[in-house]
């Protein structure tokens, strides 16, 4: 068996891995997408990728097309259309309220025109123009993703305490996206069997991670819509008051805020957000946000989790609950979020904190 034969078989095998992984991920997202719109959109994305792979399978295997490298200009043009689809998903993640109708139409027309034009004329200039524009577009999406993710996480810190809404994981996917872009570009410009193998395997890994995180991701749009139902009639801006009245109002607000967290323990709600707190305090979220930022020099997310950590520390010192139970009883929606935030706050893990404090006579564990 020659090196070429080995390369072809490995290429076939890597393509099979990619195709099967796409089918599995599409099926999983279809199931969750029945009840969650974010996952339903991701299902559409994965279904589109699976159909592209199915087309390539027919093109290379059943139509007896040239398959020495499992690459052709026509399939390359088809794969380019994945780039705007990735943009739609990232936009949906970072700007959940944005309307994408015209963005989708424009991208569909442009990519469709390139594909049809090349399919009819086989003009290499069209192919090279599409390839160059696609690379530039991919780089612009990376920049947009970085900036929009920062904006999204800033909104999260100011309005929500639910870390399952966070997109901290997206930066790692973007790093892998850069790697995939380099591999795909190299394999497209300099076709080689082993480049195709690297692309197929890299694509399977990146899609797997992307689908895994999106599958678990809470939808901020659903959170916003649920919160809006409880905020009816409570969204008017706070009027400017005289200095004495302002000081009196701030004093009353501080007392009420402390009572909501210290006595009512509102922070034990794992999905607590600024809208909910505004309803409890009978004020609006702008006033609370400004008060936390300007008076307490903190964000809503940090303030809420500060109380949760204080509660968790007491449970670690006075109970035999497991770490998982303490995370749940302290308002954290996942033990991984609890461990990560507690370690940053206390400088040690919850287990280390309990062990160190339990060894002190003044802090026996009950």
Tell me the CATH number of domain 242-358, given options 1.10.10.60, 1.10.10.10, 3.30.750.200, 2.40.160.20. 1.10.10.60
How far apart are alpha carbons 184 and 203 in whole angstroms?
Answer: 9
363: Cα within 13 Å, side-chain hemisphere: 14
Q: Using one digit for the tens of pLDDT, what is the confidence trace for 27-58?
A: 999 999 999 999 999 999 999 999 999 988 88
Angle at 341 between CA 340 and CA 345, to 5 degrees: 120
**Does pLDDT of 218 surpass 70?**
yes
What is the pTM for the complete model shown?
Answer: 0.81
pLDDT, tens digit, 9 for 90 and up, residues 314-344: 999 999 999 999 999 999 988 988 999 999 9
pLDDT digits (tens, 9 = 90+) for 239-289: 444 444 454 466 678 889 999 999 999 999 998 999 889 989 988 888 899
Every domain range in the chain assigned CATH 1.20.1070: 3-225
What's the pLDDT score for residue 147? 94
Burial of 29 (0-12, 13-18, 19+ CB in 10 A): buried
Residues spanned by CATH 1.10.10.60 within the chain? 242-358
pLDDT of residue 302: 93
pLDDT score at 363: 54
Q: How confident is the model at residue 233 (pLDDT cuts 50, 70, 90)?
A: very low
d(CA 34, CA 323): 33
**Alpha helices (H) along the chain:** 3-33, 37-57, 73-80, 82-94, 101-121, 124-159, 170-189, 193-216, 220-230, 243-262, 274-281, 285-290, 300-318, 323-329, 335-346, 350-358
- Are 251 and 300 a contacting pair, CB within 8 Å? no
What CATH number is given for 3-225 in this structure?
1.20.1070
């Amino acid at each position: 068996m020659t090196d070429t034969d080995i390369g072809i078989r490995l290429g076939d095998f890597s393509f099979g891995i990619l195709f099967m992984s796409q089918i599995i991920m599409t099926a999983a997202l279809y199931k969750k997408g029945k009840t969650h719109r974010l996952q339903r959109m991701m299902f559409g994305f994965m279904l589109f990728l699976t159909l592209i792979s199915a087309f390539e399978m027919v093109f290379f295997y059943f139509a007896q097309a040239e398959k020495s490298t499992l690459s052709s200009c026509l399939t390359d043009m088809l794969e380019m259309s994945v780039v705007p689809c990735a943009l739609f998903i990232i936009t949906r993640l970072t700007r959940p309220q944005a309307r994408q109708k015209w963005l989708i139409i424009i991208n569909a027309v442009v990519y469709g025109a390139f594909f049809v034009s090349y399919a009819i004329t086989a003009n290499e200039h069209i192919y090279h123009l599409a390839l160059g524009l696609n690379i530039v577009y991919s780089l612009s999406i990376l920049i947009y993703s970085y900036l929009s993710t920062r904006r999204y996480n800033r909104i999260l810190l100011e309005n929500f305490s639910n870390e399952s809404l966070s997109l901290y994981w997206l930066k790692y996917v973007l790093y892998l996206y850069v790697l995939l872009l380099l591999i795909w570009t190299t394999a497209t410009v300099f076709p080689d069997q082993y480049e195709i193998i690297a692309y197929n395997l890299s694509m399977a890994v990146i899609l797997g991670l992307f689908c895994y995180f999106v599958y678990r991701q809470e939808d901020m749009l659903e959170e916003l819509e649920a919160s809006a139902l409880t905020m009816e009639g409570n969204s008017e801006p706070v009027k400017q008051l005289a200095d004495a009245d302002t000081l009196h109002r701030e004093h009353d607000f501080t007392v009420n805020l402390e009572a909501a967290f210290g006595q009512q323990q509102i922070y034990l709600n794992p999905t607590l957000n600024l809208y909910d707190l505004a309803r409890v305090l009978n004020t609006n979220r702008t006033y609370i946000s400004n008060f936390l930022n300007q008076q307490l020099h903190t964000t809503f997310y940090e303030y809420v989790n500060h109380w949760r950590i204080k509660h968790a520390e007491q449970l670690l010192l006075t109970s035999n609950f497991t770490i998982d139970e303490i995370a749940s009883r302290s308002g954290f929606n996942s033990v991984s979020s609890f461990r990560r935030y507690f370690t940053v706050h206390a400088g040690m893990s919850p287990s280390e904190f309990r062990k160190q404090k339990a060894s002190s006579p003044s802090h026996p564990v009950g």
